[in-house]
Amino acid sequence: MDLYTKLLTKQAKLSVIGLGYVGMPLAVAFDKKDIAVIGFDLNSEKIDLYRQGLDPTFEVGSEALKHSKIFFTDAAISLREANFHIIAVPTPINIDKTPDLCPVENASVILGRNLSKGSVVVYESTVYPGVTEDICIPILERESGLKCGQDFLVGYSPERINPGDKVNRLENIVKIVAGLDSSTLDIVAKVYELIIEVGVYRAESVKVAEAAKVVENSQRDINIAFMNELAMVFDKMKIDTNEVIKAMNTKWNALKFYPGLVGGHCIGIDPYYFIYQAAKLGYHSQIILAGRKINDGMGQFIADAVIKELVLANKKVIQSKVYILGITFKENCPDIRNSKVTDVITRLQEYGINPIIIDPWADVDETASEYGLKLDTLEDIHDADCLIFAVAHQEFKNLSLDKIASYFNSQLPQEEKIIIDVKSILDKYAISQKGYRYWNL
């Protein structure tokens, strides 16, 4: 009986290593297909929440966890009970923008020490081409004493989950799958086909699958960088970038990208993995690196625009009361990893401004731990000189003009009340008619 059949008949178990925005939806999806799932994470606090049926990521929802049969654990020895393993840990970058492979290496060490003969290991973590074969497999072999291709098999299937997206979900995004040989590819494809309704794409090799992931995010990064560059130029031309985009999008082949802060754990990081490996091979990226430079500089550009508006409104910059609405890397999502809003904050602090941060989605403790920032609530806003709408959370979109008005010092002249609309979520014309000083990206 092959491993696929054993999984279907619960004679074998599947483990998901790393229970974040990627791993948790995978674990729940396989659980719903009546596969015996072991959910492993080193974070004991997170495991406790999952055992209570609480989902801090909001990706699957607490209700789904309460009804799941997933065995949540932080005990690595439990991995010995599984034979199909999916590693879904983050792959961040170091301060110098080089890949930080520590999470995926550590996960390989942990699994290697608990790997059984006949197992299949699939990596979902985003890496540059060659990491799975050149770095991960040797670790698995060293720690387990087993031989890849003989005692265990290895595949790769890059994660494509879009955190916070309730339309493009795990089950309706085509899954790229790859294996070191045809038999591995076949079992990996069959297992993922259990949960992916739109099917899988069988890549020609593991390296092709690894490359596909970093390239698809690099492509988005470059396109957003182009729009960001246009936004900076149009700002000098006194032209509204969004009005230009609306006009441009009337053509059928317009790509519909928009300017903004590019953070998160994919688009703002993956290009550096590609750049790093290319440089090791003697090629120094021009387009991708230029795009990264533009996008990494947008926080400073926005902060400088804030300072300019404060000066033009006759404010004493260092005494100005500035609120930033949003700290997560994207809307309607609690994920604060690699948030570029922090670049805006850092730049404002250089001018002596300590902005007050509001975010109903972000976790208070996590934000304090990660960035040393305190979170306030919408109810705490008062006597503002400037409101910066940095993230397009629905709670911010729903604010009425009257509510926004209540956040400012009523004694201020309208032209001294500043609204910075980074994501262009407000009605520009309605706000302008009220006399506010308004700027959007």
| Active centre residues (catalytic) | 266
Q: Provide long-range contacts, Cβ within 8 A and 24+ apart, for 211-216.
A: 211/128, 211/129, 211/274, 212/158, 212/176, 213/126, 213/158, 213/159, 213/160, 213/176, 213/270, 214/126, 214/127, 214/128, 214/129, 214/270, 214/271, 214/273, 214/274, 215/274
| Phi then psi dihedrals of residue 87, to 5 deg | -100, 115
Compute φ and ψ for 122, nearest 5 degrees.
Answer: -120, 130
Strand segments, DSSP code E, in 42-198 are: 71-73, 82-87, 119-123, 152-156, 175-179
Q: Are 79 and 38 in contact (CB under 8 A)?
A: yes
> Which residues does 168 contact at the CB level (< 8 Å), separation at least 6?
162
CB within 8 Å of 304: residues ≥ 6 apart? 347
> Which residue, among 101, 107, 160, 103, has the nearest Cα to 128 in the 3D structure?
101
Task: Name the nearest CA neighbour of 254 among 245, 262, 263.
Answer: 245
Q: In what order do the strands lie in the sheet with 152-156?
A: 71-73, 37-40, 13-17, 82-87, 119-123, 152-156, 175-179, 200-202
Question: CA 24: distance to chain centroid?
Answer: 14
Give the bridge partners for 384, in sequence order.
408
Distance CA 380, CA 263 (A): 27
Smallest CA-to-CA distance from 352 within 307, 412, 299 is with: 307
Phi, psi of 22 (to 5 degrees): -100, -50
The two tokens of residue 188 are 């990996």
Q: Are strands 386-389 and 322-325 parallel, antiparallel or unpaired?
A: parallel
Residue 114 burial (CB count, 10 A): 21
Per DSSP bridges, beta strands 175-179 and 152-156 are antiparallel
What does the block give as tokens for 303?
Answer: 């902060």
SS3 label, residue 418: strand
E runs forming strands in 193-255: 200-202
